[in-house]
Structure formats: structure tokens, C-alpha cells
Amino acid sequence: MQNPITLRDIENLKKLAKQAKALHPGLSHAQRLNLMAQHHLQARSYHEVRKWVARSLEQHYERKDGGVVYCKLCRFSFVPGIAEDSTTHEKRHLNFEDALFSLGALPAAHATREQRKREAHNLIHSAPSAGEELAGVEQLVNAWYDRSLESAIGNGDWKKHPSLAEYAAMIVPTVEAWLRQSRVLYLSKYGCNRGVIPEGQTTWVQPEG
């Protein structure tokens, strides 16, 4: 196979095998999985597709002590030999695959966010003007936004996550402490939407109901 086979391909095969039940009533689900793998991915069997996916996933792994593996794509540590760990990782990884395909990029990882936050605080505290303070505040909000979006991707809620501009309005209760000179500029650019993200919090959470 020339293109990397992903967990989304596995999910698609499962759906196709389920849909094929009416056409192949005499075949078991496992047999239909094999048939779909052969027809759609030119594999010898579903098991071979799983092996392809395992190799594809391994390119993202960073080995740690004690048998722990860190997946650099979905930012998750787990032990491959523990079934529950592997299942949890696959569900999370699938969410990140889908988000990457749809968004074109993933939010900045933890280390990058922390560096941007430090730079933002320096910009804010040394800003000689409202415009320069606003630039620092926007960098800080961007770092918070990436963390919030990463959380939503992990939970599978990323499609409902607010845009950066919407998030900037929601985060006013928390960010206004940094708006010493640039409050008017910030509010005129983004507005204010209180009551969505509580003061002191920076992570958007999917509302219940």
C-alpha cells in the first residue's frame, strides 16, 4: 500500500462489513471484514490491515522506561501490552487523525504552548503601548486556545469547539486581568461572551444537553 493506512480506514472497514451483511448473509462478521479488506484496500485479510495500521502508528511512538510508549501525534502515554491502554489510545488517536485531516494541522503541543505563554507574559508586562500589550494578550489567548482545542480533540468534541475569535470573546472573564492598557482594543475586536468559560478557567467544555 502506498498511502499510510490509518485507524479511520479500520473504522470504515467495520462499517462496510456491517453494511455488507444483507449482501452476504452467509458470511460471519469476521469473514465480511476480510472481504472488505480485500476489496477496498487490496489486503489479503483484515488482520493484514491491522498490521499495516500498527506499523503506521509506531512511527509516532517514543519509547519510555517501564514499557511505556508516548504517542507524539495524540500526545498520550500508554503501555501497549495492556489491552485497556491500547483501546484508550486507539480511540484518542482516531480523534486526532480525524481532526488533523479536517483542520489541516493540530494545535501546538504542550512545550510549544508553554514557551509561547512565557513570551506572551514578557510582552504584556513590558508593553509600552496598548497595541503592543494587545499583541502579547493575543499570543497568550492563542496558547490557551490550543490547549482547549487539544482537550476537545481528545474528548471527540472538537467539531463543536469555538473558533479562535469566538473563544477570545468567551475567555474575557479570565483574560481581562491582563488588559491593563488594551481592554478597549480587545473588546472592540472580539467582544465579550460571559458565562461560557468561567473566570480562572481556559478550557472550553461541551455544554450538556
N-to-C CA span, the chain: 43
- The grid cell for 161 is 469547539
Q: Is residue 209 part of a domain?
A: no
Domains contained in the chain, number: 3
Helix/strand/coil for 166: helix
The reported pTM is 0.88
The per-residue pLDDT of the chain, averaged, comes to 94
| 5 and 51 co-located in one domain | yes
Helix/strand/coil for 100: helix
Q: Is residue 168 part of a domain?
A: yes
Cα separation of 188 and 197, whole Å? 19
* Domain range enclosing 20: 1-59
Q: Is residue 71 part of a domain?
A: yes
Q: What is the pLDDT of residues 56-74, one digit of tens each?
A: 999 999 999 999 999 999 9
Where residue 191 falls (left for φ over 0; alpha for ψ -120 to 50; beta otherwise) is left
Q: Which of 44, 79, 60 is nearest to 6 (CA)?
A: 60
Task: Give me the count of residues in the chain.
Answer: 209
| 15 and 73 co-located in one domain | no
Q: What is the pLDDT of residues 120-172, one digit of tens each?
A: 999 999 999 999 999 999 999 999 999 999 999 999 999 999 999 999 999 99
